[in-house]
Amino acid sequence: MLRKMIQMSLVAALGLSATLLAYGAATASPLADETPTVKEIMTKGHKGTDAYLAKIKGAVKDGKWEDAQKYAKTLAFFGESLGKNKAAKGDADSWKTLSEKYAASTKAVFEATEKKDAKAANAGLAAIGASCGACHKVHK
C-alpha cells in the first residue's frame, strides 16, 4: 500500500514538473540573451495575425497602450537583433544598411507607443511594411 502511494506521488510530481517546464518554455521572454535568428524575427515579428506587427496595430487601434508598448518593445529588440545575423545572401553593406533602417523603424514604433501616439505608431508600422520588398529582393 505504501509502495503504491509513493509511486502515485512520484508520477504526480513528474507530471507537475513536466507541466511547469512546458509552461516556462512557452512563456520565456523573447528578450533573452541569445540573438534571435532572422527566421525567428520574421516569423514572430511579421507572419500572420499573431505576429508582433499585427498585435501592435490592433492594440494601438483599440487604445491598449500597455499591450502596444509590450509588443513594440519586443519588436524593437528584434530590430536591434536583425543586423547581428548574417544575411542568407546579398552583400554585407546592403544588409547593414537595411537592417539598420529596420532597427530604426522598430525603435520609432516603440517610442510612439510610449508616447501613446497612434499616428506615429501607424507611420512606423507602415514604414516597416514598406521595407519588406527591398530587403527580401536582395537578401532572401
Q: Where are the domains of the chain?
A: 1-30, 34-139
* Beta-carbon contacts of residue 139 (< 8 Å; ≥ 6 apart): 87, 88, 89, 90, 94, 95, 98
Give backbone dihedrals phi and psi of 116, rounded to 5 degrees, phi first.
55, 45
pLDDT of residue 43: 96
Q: Provide the mean pLDDT of the chain.
A: 85
Q: Is residue 113 pLDDT above 80, yes or no?
A: yes
User: Which of residues 117 and 18 earns the better pLDDT score?
Assistant: 117
Q: How confident is the model at residue 9 (pLDDT cuts 50, 70, 90)?
A: low
- Residue ranges of alpha helices (H) inside the chain are 2-26, 38-46, 52-61, 65-82, 92-114, 118-139
Q: Which of 96, 79, 84 is nearest to 139 (CA)?
A: 96
| CATH number of the 34-139 domain | 1.20.120.290
